[in-house]
Amino acid sequence: MSRSLTIRRPDDWHVHFRDGAMMQAVVPFTAAQFARAIAMPNLVPPVTTAAEAVAYRDRILSAVPAGVKFEPLMVAYLTDGIDPAELRKGFESRAWVAAKLYPAKATTNSAHGVTDIKKIMPALAEMAKIGMPLLIHGEVTDQDVDIFDREAVFLSEILAPLVEALPDLKIVLEHATTEEAVNFVRSRPKNMGCTITAHHLAFNRNAIFQGGIRPHFYCLPVAKREKHRLALRDAATSGDPRFFLGTDSAPHLAKAKENACGCAGLFTAPAAVEAYVQVFAEEGKLDNFEAFASLNGPNFYGLPLNEERITLRPGSRFVAATIPAADQHLVPYLAGEDVRWEIV
């Protein structure tokens, strides 16, 4: 494994920066690796107007270290009462590039999310008309549905009828975790994209319970069984233009994760590109890494490719055991481990 790899600078099509001191701590990690990133809008309160998106973008930019070139791409948070005209206004003025559907109470800061997809059909119809992508957290929230089945049930009960009703709507199924999701995306020849996280490619649900309960492996959608991880690896490394990089890096303070009711989310930004390229190397698919990391995303969103290049080479880089944030600390993904690739 001595090969080095030069690719266009990657983008992260799904990341959580939070706000305030946490944002100041985490933005530099993403900006160090990626040219652009889709900044998720699940703040408290959520980003629901174009003006709020512009203000949030400015706050993120204030956390980018001097001399680093980085562009945050903003997203509207869909609520039951979202105004289709506001979505259009923000899209046309480039305040945001997409809108995110969080089913209400599906995950972190989703209390203002959508309680019933019927309530936002006028907004989604408007988005289809103007070519504004819909980004989806694809899990049903019915507590009677087993947590490991919530993505698959969402696909059949919500997403399948939605793509029939609005075939022109561009959709990204975010952080896919199942074979069913991969098959669903592959069955749609048009208007369908899908992000896959590095961590869902790297471990299955056993990691959450390895020798005891391990909160730093808990995220939503929760990791599934091994056959699903293998399906995700096959999709991500295939070169299929529908699949692209989205870390879902989601920082929570260590004390909020190491808790009787720990928060969902892995802070993967510090070694994100290294974690992904490792998977492509293991699969013997390094030739497809640039498509997944740097081409498929911008092509889906209709944005220009990055002109800058980065070189990755086999090596060794230590990931810190903890990272200071907001007067406390975060435990990153791969904390205290050596990753086997480095960015030159």
Residue (141 or 278) nearer to ligand DOR, CB: 141
Neighbouring-strand partners of residue 155:
none
Kindly state whether residue 228 participates in binding ligand DOR, applying the rule CB under 6 A. no
Beta carbon of residue 117, minimum distance to ligand DOR (angstroms, whole number): 17
Residue 199 known to bind ligand? no
Give the separation between CA 105 and CA 196, rounded to whole angstroms: 22
Beta carbon of residue 18, minimum distance to ligand DOR (angstroms, whole number): 8
Q: Where are the alpha helices (DSSP H) in the chain?
A: 20-33, 50-62, 84-92, 121-130, 150-154, 160-165, 179-186, 198-202, 226-236, 254-257, 272-282, 289-290, 296-301
Residue (169 or 266) nearer to ligand DOR, CB: 266
- Give the total residue count for the chain: 344
**CA proximity to 81, closest of 107, 49, 41:** 49
Beta carbon of residue 215, minimum distance to ligand DOR (angstroms, whole number): 11
- Choose, by CB under 6 A, the member of 30, 33, 48, 107 that binds ligand DOR: 107
Give the separation between CA 171 and CA 264, rounded to whole angstroms: 24
Q: Which single residue brings its beta carbon nearest to ligand DOR?
A: 265
Residue (221 or 312) nearer to Zn ion, CB: 221
Residue 175 known to bind ligand? yes
Provide the token pair at 341. Answer: 């690739």
Residue 252 known to bind ligand? yes
Q: Tokens 């048009």 — which residue?
A: 190
Beta carbon of residue 289, minimum distance to Zn ion (angstroms, whole number): 22
Q: Please pick, among 11, 12, 240, 248, the residue that the annotation labels catalytic.
A: 248
Kindly state whether residue 141 participates in binding ligand DOR, applying the rule CB under 6 A. no
Site string for ligand DOR, 158-197 (x = CB under 6 A): ----------------------------------------
Residue (216 or 285) nearer to Zn ion, CB: 216
- Is 248 designated active site? yes
- Choose, by CB under 6 A, the member of 9, 14, 57, 137 that binds ligand DOR: 137
- Choose, by CB under 6 A, the member of 33, 48, 79, 108 that binds ligand DOR: 108
Residue 228 known to bind ligand? no
**CA proximity to 323, closest of 283, 272, 275, 269:** 269
Contact 172, 195 (CB under 8 A): yes
Provide the token pair at 238. Answer: 């295939």
- Choose, by CB under 6 A, the member of 30, 33, 42, 268 that binds ligand DOR: 42
Give the separation between CA 156 and CA 158, rounded to whole angstroms: 6
Residues near Zn ion (CB under 5 A): 248
Kindly report the backbone phi and psi dihedral angles of residue 319, in degrees, each rounded to the nearest multiple of 5, phi listed first: -95, 125
Provide the token pair at 100. Answer: 């995110």
Q: CA-based Rg of the chain, rounded to a whole angstrom?
A: 19
Kindly state whether residue 48 participates in binding ligand DOR, applying the rule CB under 6 A. no
Burial class (CB in 10 A: 0-12, 13-18, 19+), 167: exposed
Kindly report the backbone phi and psi dihedral angles of residue 133, in degrees, each rounded to the nearest multiple of 5, phi listed first: -70, 145
Max Cα–Cα distance, the chain, nearest Å = 54
Residue (247 or 278) nearer to ligand DOR, CB: 247
Beta carbon of residue 51, minimum distance to Zn ion (angstroms, whole number): 23
Beta carbon of residue 102, minimum distance to ligand DOR (angstroms, whole number): 7
Kindly state whether residue 265 participates in binding ligand DOR, applying the rule CB under 6 A. yes
Chain positions contacting ligand DOR, by CB under 6 A = 16, 42, 107-108, 137, 219-220, 250, 264-265
Binding residues for Zn(2+): 14, 16, 100, 137, 175, 248
Binding residues: 14, 16-18, 42, 100, 137, 175, 220, 248, 252, 264
Provide the annotated active-site residues: 248
